[in-house]
Amino acid sequence: MSPVVVTRPARDAAQWVGDLQALGIDALALPLIDIHAVSTAPLQQALVQARLHAQAGRYQAIMVVSGNAATHFFTPALVAALAAQPGGGTRIWAPGPGTAGQLQALGLPPGCIDSPAADARQFDSESLWQSVGPRVGTGTRVLVVRGTSTPALEGGNGRDWLAARIAAAGGQADFVAAYERAAPAWSSADLQQLRALLASDPLWLLSSSEALSHLVAALPRHDWSACRALATHPRIAQSATGHGFGRVLQCRPTLADVAASIKSEHERR
């Protein structure tokens, strides 16, 4: 049975590999995005200021784009301040169950977290908006906590669709970068191992178009037409097809859906 390659950042990948192996699936980690704290003074200062504003109750909602965003933004002091707010305080928006779970692990009460319905077709900004959109109106201020890629921006990159919806409803979205994303630093030995892995006909579990771009950039002359991918969002599936992957499957980014899709693919072969 060919392996499943989990391409999430290292911390997430380790969790996913463990969970998949517990279900009897041969999985290994190949993180395709390196995550680290913001590294420049302007980014650090903007992050400190955003935390102070959040602690002071300046925002009606804080949207964190991922578990990594949650981990790098929420300090114990900020969590305690938000948890102590009376009913109707700052809402914390999560695009999916993984992020919601990380927020709870950090100490935020489940009752203050908004996320898409459990049976949503996808876990993304569009599905989240269906849950939170009706409560956004004139004067609503939302802080969007996200990552940034090179060149680093204080406000980070991504989720502009959500900002447009907030603005259209009369609200305002502010942005802050809580962490930085980068491509892995491939050594010649790493690339040799990557080529050997490709020879085993793995199933690539893709949860980010950026991670996919890093993979393709590592082997710019590789023909991906014989490769298979399982994407956890339609946009990622479209990106994999655009890069030439010969077989691209799609499922929701939950462990149950991913495991079922993997097992179905293995049975097909």
For the chain, how far is it from start to end, CA to CA, in angstroms? 9
Residue 115 has pLDDT above 90, yes or no: yes
Looking at residue 160, its pLDDT comes to 83
Helix (H, G, I), strand (E, B) or coil at 56: coil
Residue 210 near residue 149, CB atoms below 8 Å: yes
- The secondary structure of residue 109, as a DSSP letter, is -
Indicate the pairing of strand 203-206 with strand 172-182: unpaired
Sign of the CA dihedral with 108 first, then 110, 114, and 118 last: positive
Of residues 149 and 133, the one with the higher pLDDT is 133
DSSP letter string over 127-165?
HHHHHHGGG--TT-EEEEEEEEESSP-TT-S--HHHHHH
Looking at residue 122, its pLDDT comes to 85
Q: For residue 263, which phi and psi values (nearest 5 degrees)?
A: -65, -35
Residue 57 CA to residue 97 CA, distance in Å, equals 25
Residue 150: which pLDDT band, with cuts at 50, 70 and 90? Answer: low
Residue 47 near residue 174, CB atoms below 8 Å: no
What's the order of all strands across the beta sheet hosting 4-6? 27-29, 4-6, 203-206, 228-231, 247-250
Cis peptide preceding 151, ω within 30 of 0: yes
Q: Kindly report, residue by residue over 63-96, the tens digit of the pLDDT.
A: 999 999 999 999 999 999 998 887 668 999 999 9
Looking at residue 268, its pLDDT comes to 81
The percentage of residues in the chain with a pLDDT greater than 90, rounded to a whole number, is: 84
What CATH number does the domain located at 4-33+186-268 have?
3.40.50.10090
Q: Kindly report, residue by residue over 198-236, the tens digit of the pLDDT.
A: 999 999 999 999 999 999 999 999 999 999 999 999 999
Task: Report residue 199 CA to chain centroid gap.
Answer: 28
**Which structure tokens are listed for 25?**
């699936």
Q: For residue 89, which phi and psi values (nearest 5 degrees)?
A: -75, -160
What is the greatest pairwise CA distance in the chain? Answer: 57
Contacts of 243 (CB under 8 A, 6+ apart): 212, 216, 224
Q: Kindly report, residue by residue over 35-44, the tens digit of the pLDDT.
A: 999 999 999 9
Same fold, 4-33+186-268 and 37-182: yes
What CATH number does the domain located at 37-182 have?
3.40.50.10090
Mean of per-residue pLDDT scores for the chain: 92
The domain spans of the chain are 4-33+186-268, 37-182
Q: Which of 120, 130, 126, 125 is nearest to 144 (CA)?
A: 125
Looking at residue 106, its pLDDT comes to 96
Residue 153: which pLDDT band, with cuts at 50, 70 and 90? Answer: low
Average pLDDT over residues 114-127: 87
Indicate the pTM of the whole model: 0.86
Q: For residue 220, which phi and psi values (nearest 5 degrees)?
A: -65, -20
Residue 159 has pLDDT above 90, yes or no: no
Residue 157 has pLDDT above 60, yes or no: no
**Which structure tokens are listed for 238?**
């479209």
